[in-house]
Amino acid sequence: MTATIINIGDELLIGQVVNSNASVMSQMLTASGIGVNDVLVCGDTRDAILLSLQRALTDSDIVLITGGLGPTKDDVTKQVLCDYFGSELYENEEALANVRRIFAARGYELTEVNRRQAWVPRCCTMINNSVGTAPCMWFDLEGTDRRQVVVSMAGVPFEMEHLMRTEIVPRLQRQFQTGVILCKNILTQGIGESFLSDLVEPWELSLPEGLSVAYLPVSGMVKMRLTARGSDETSLRKRIDDAAAALRAVAGQYIVGEDCETLPELVAQRFAERQLTLATAESCTGGAIAAAVTALAGASAYYRGGVVAYSNEVKQAMLGVGADVLQQHGAVSEPVVRQMAEGARLRMGADYAVATSGVAGPGGGTAEKPVGTVWMALASPSGTIAQCKHYSGPRSQIVVRACNEIFAWLARSVR
Amino acid sequence: MTATIINIGDELLIGQVVNSNASVMSQMLTASGIGVNDVLVCGDTRDAILLSLQRALTDSDIVLITGGLGPTKDDVTKQVLCDYFGSELYENEEALANVRRIFAARGYELTEVNRRQAWVPRCCTMINNSVGTAPCMWFDLEGTDRRQVVVSMAGVPFEMEHLMRTEIVPRLQRQFQTGVILCKNILTQGIGESFLSDLVEPWELSLPEGLSVAYLPVSGMVKMRLTARGSDETSLRKRIDDAAAALRAVAGQYIVGEDCETLPELVAQRFAERQLTLATAESCTGGAIAAAVTALAGASAYYRGGVVAYSNEVKQAMLGVGADVLQQHGAVSEPVVRQMAEGARLRMGADYAVATSGVAGPGGGTAEKPVGTVWMALASPSGTIAQCKHYSGPRSQIVVRACNEIFAWLARSVR
């Protein structure tokens, strides 16, 4: 079972909008056992839409289209689909009732133009979009050799997501009998993708039928995703657990955690489970660690707070770093980063505290401390430890890598 | 002059990665006068790449390809291109020296597999990728009716961006003589896109030939981009300046700044010009303001530091917020946010300080202070002011909107 995603919209071709719809849809389809062949992004023109549709129907069983369903003349998707399937538009009662309801709730008058939202091709199954005015259209194509489906839905991200989750994915699963799919994430850190895949190659080659692994590298870490496909959930679960155990035996030292998506999520889980608290003291990461911690709902359960100690004066005043230590060793040094972590832990009353001080660049590097040098410290009830890392790449990469190192360090420290 | 973007990578088809490359590339091309016809995303397979390449060469003059250039067997882009153009691979000396340099800097041993990164098709122009190991390949196609270009580059976002900015866009501009293009950004805030476009419609209709405007909405603000195309820089400059002056006359109250890309950039400029300093005190934005400030190189010139005062204890200990005030008004309140800003300003010795305290959700909302309520304060030499905003949407949107409001407020306060 394979799908092609077509995202329609001029705004996607001038770089104004990042096409997050494609990744959300791909994730949902992949998790349902439907492989995505390709994603085609085109503008709001008849020719571009037809070309994309033809290619999609050559490639895939399922074609999911977003966008171009607004009431203005820019949006032509509905008319193009109607013509392509040789149908005609009619006013759908249920869709009209939905449009009326939404306009009434917003306190807007229903104009003739907006009423046109309720028109759909006669040959499609109208699927009501309860969170927006553009109805979803489902086209069944009964070919001689295979059955195909084309679905057109709104491009507004939360409308698309709602329709995919509540209507489209369940219908696809029924119609195409996609079977059972289980996934398991394993977060690794401290080893590059190619070295990791070399290390675990014998394990990977011995994976049983129906089990596959994907390597998902993000700055400074690699997420491994095990996927099992079949028909019986219990046996799939056992197969995936056995594979994870075998993986632990060969690459355990690089495995930071399992069953979550990101390192900050893993840290949040472990701190919550142990009822521990965290404080941060950041110089070169400039608040990026705090922002990643607090981006997750429920962070207040374990995160006390942090100091972004960008200037030396703030390191002294807010964290109690000694003026003499700064003078003697410089801000990017082991003694300073230790005092930062200890000051943060003490002053914010946390069990654990982490600190960073480095040269994020592009300026500020010296022969002794080049751009990419980052000192880090971790203060805990059992004492303070420090390490120095050297990163390459632009400022943003150095910050991201330092953040991931800190989160992996925290996750390893709180098992 | 039109382009097709092809992004290659299995990771893009399972939803693991949002395809930000497409939007960054589209933006750069659009700004250079090259329209993007379509974006094709496909997996790391020979057939999919060939199909995409064929469609792209039918559609466009310029084909830009990212991804699939790693040294592992998964990555096939280079071999597919080499075969498509009927060429053969050879070890390029300059590319090899670059790979060696990067491996040496990272302290890794150069394996035979990695050395293969330096192999490129004989028929292409190798463009050195100084920030990564995969060289960029430029193919010129001299057809009977038109000249076309195919460029293959690394998919790692910062490598792609570096290559596009320093090599590919300048070469495309020379080769296709895209003429003179001048852009001017105008940052507006406090008015939605559709209301803004209604307000300035007469101005927009009166724009002279060769001058166009794009509305680029990002959470809580709209960037307007004026683009002038022609051959004479002086007259284009005058035309764009006249249009900006006319725009100021109709929408001046919403214009926060001009000639920069983002609000944090604008704030950095103004603080640097005035030699003012800034401190931050964040509760609900959780370090996102600090992270946005420090994401820009040179932030240390004006940014002293910040406190992420997530818990009430940290608000008291680090910023001097009164326990009685917290008790009486709650953390999300005008008195607390004022004390946070004043405490940050005083303790970190800054001219200006901003503070946020709100309910980012999804939990924690009450009837009186629902999710999305954000109190903000701005303390300066002329006193402290506060305001309350109500945002809708998910946690991440509420944080982004609050950050943008803070940056717009700072930019307006330091003209």
Q: Per-residue pLDDT tens for B259-318? A: 988 899 999 999 999 999 999 999 999 999 999 999 999 999 999 999 999 999 999 999
Dihedral sign for Cα atoms in the order B396, B401, B404, B409? negative
CA distance B415 to B413: 6
pLDDT bracket for residue B415 (50, 70, 90): confident
pLDDT bracket for residue A26 (50, 70, 90): very high
> Could you confirm whether domain B263-413 is CATH 3.30.1280.10?
no
Minimal CA–CA distance to B342: which of B293, B388, B378, B302?
Answer: B378
CA distance A177 to A174: 5
What pLDDT is attached to residue B196?
Answer: 86
- How does pLDDT run across B344-373, given as a tens digit for each residue? 999 999 999 999 999 999 899 999 999 999
Q: Are A403 and A280 in contact (CB under 8 A)?
A: no
**Reported pTM:** 0.83
Q: Looking at residues A339-352, what average pLDDT do you find?
A: 98
Quick one: fold of A2-176? Molybdenum Cofactor Biosythetic Enzyme; Chain A (3.40.980)
CA distance B159 to B139: 19
What pLDDT is attached to residue A53?
Answer: 96
CA distance A250 to B195: 60
CA distance A323 to A134: 63
Better-scored residue on pLDDT, A87 or A112:
A87
What pLDDT is attached to residue A214?
Answer: 81
- How does pLDDT run across B131-183, given as a tens digit for each residue? 999 999 999 998 777 889 999 999 989 899 999 999 999 999 988 877 788 88
Alpha carbons within 13 A on the beta-carbon side of B100: 7
What pLDDT is attached to residue B273?
Answer: 94
- How does pLDDT run across A377-406, given as a tens digit for each residue? 999 999 999 999 999 888 998 999 999 999
- How does pLDDT run across B308-357, given as a tens digit for each residue? 999 999 999 999 999 999 999 999 999 999 999 999 999 999 999 999 99
What pLDDT is attached to residue B283?
Answer: 98
Q: What residues 25-64 of chain A have any CB closer than 8 A to a CB of chain B?
A: 25-30, 35-43, 48, 51-52, 55, 59
Asked if the model's pLDDT at residue B193 lies above 80, the reply is: no
**pLDDT, chain A, mean:** 92
CB within 8 Å of A30: residues ≥ 6 apart: A36, B13, B14, B15
Pairing mode, strands A62-66 and A2-8: parallel
Alpha carbons within 13 A on the beta-carbon side of B70: 17
CA distance A316 to A308: 12
- Using a CB-CB cut-off of 8 Å, the residues of chain A touching B30 are 13-15
- How does pLDDT run across A33-47, given as a tens digit for each residue? 898 999 999 998 999
* Best to test chain B binding among A14, A165, A400, A403 (most B CBs inside 10 Å): A14
pLDDT bracket for residue A376 (50, 70, 90): very high
Domain ranges of chain A: 2-176, 180-258, 263-413
CA distance A53 to A81: 9
Cβ pair A294:B306 closer than 8 A: no
Tell me the angle at which helices A263-274 and A395-413 cross, rounded to the nearest 10 degrees. 30
**Is the N-terminal amide bond of A217 cis, ω within 30° of 0?**
no
B151 membership: H or E segment, kind and range? strand B147-153
Paired tokens of A254: 């690089």
Asked if the model's pLDDT at residue A31 lies above 90, the reply is: no
A180-258: CATH number: 3.30.70.2860
Q: Does A362 touch chain B (CB under 8 A)?
A: yes
CA distance A195 to A201: 10
CA distance B126 to B41: 24
Paired tokens of B316: 């008291």
**Is the N-terminal amide bond of A362 cis, ω within 30° of 0?**
yes
What pLDDT is attached to residue A73?
Answer: 65
**How many CB atoms lie under 10 A from the CB of residue B351?**
18
- Using a CB-CB cut-off of 8 Å, the residues of chain A touching B317 are 347-349
Q: DSSP string of A204-219?
A: HHTPPTTEEEEEEEET
pLDDT bracket for residue A143 (50, 70, 90): confident
- How does pLDDT run across B117-130, given as a tens digit for each residue? 999 999 999 999 99
* Best to test chain A binding among B13, B163, B224 (most A CBs inside 10 Å): B13
Of B13, B22, B297, the CB nearest to A395: B297
Cα B64-A23-A47 angle, rounded to 5 deg: 55
Paired tokens of B2: 């039109």
CA distance A15 to B26: 5
- CA of A400, closest CA in chain B: separation in Å? 11
Window from A145-149, B137-141, B148-152, B380-384 with minimum mean pLDDT: A145-149
Paired tokens of A373: 């040098």
- Using a CB-CB cut-off of 8 Å, the residues of chain B touching A363 are 297-298
Judge whether A2-176 and A180-258 match in fold.
no
Query: How far are the Cα atoms of A183, A193, A260, B216 from residue A257, in angstroms, in the given order?
Result: 15, 17, 8, 40
Of A30, A48, A305, the CB nearest to B311: A305
Q: What residues 306-325 of chain A have any CB closer than 8 A to a CB of chain B?
A: 306-311, 313-315, 317-318
- CA of B86, closest CA in chain A: separation in Å? 25
Q: DSSP string of B78-136?
A: HHHHHHHTT--EEE-HHHHHHHHHHHHHHT----HHHHGGGEEETTSEEE--TTSSS-E
Q: Are B233 and B180 in contact (CB under 8 A)?
A: yes
Of A18, A214, A291, the CB nearest to B287: A291
Minimal CA–CA distance to B34: which of B79, B75, B2?
Answer: B2
ipTM of the complex: 0.84
C-alpha B296 chain-centroid distance: 12
CA distance B124 to A86: 46
| Structure letter (DSSP) for residue B208 | P
What pLDDT is attached to residue B73?
Answer: 67
What pLDDT is attached to residue A81?
Answer: 97
CA distance A3 to A6: 10
Q: What residues 66-105 of chain B have any CB closer than 8 A to a CB of chain A?
A: 70-72, 102, 105
Quote the longest CA-to-CA distance of chain A: 83
Q: What residues 382-401 of chain A have any CB closer than 8 A to a CB of chain B?
A: 392-397, 399
Cβ pair B286:A280 closer than 8 A: no
Q: Looking at residues A345-362, what average pLDDT do you find?
A: 97
- Using a CB-CB cut-off of 8 Å, the residues of chain A touching B314 are 279, 304-305, 348
Pairing mode, strands A147-153 and A62-66: parallel
Paired tokens of A148: 């195909």
Asked if the model's pLDDT at residue B195 lies above 70, the reply is: yes
Of B279, B291, B396, the CB nearest to A286: B291
| Structure letter (DSSP) for residue B231 | S
Alpha carbons within 13 A on the beta-carbon side of A339: 22
- How does pLDDT run across A182-238, given as a tens digit for each residue? 889 999 998 888 789 889 999 999 999 889 888 877 777 888 989 888 888 899 999
Q: What residues 206-225 of chain B have any CB closer than 8 A to a CB of chain A?
A: 214, 216-217
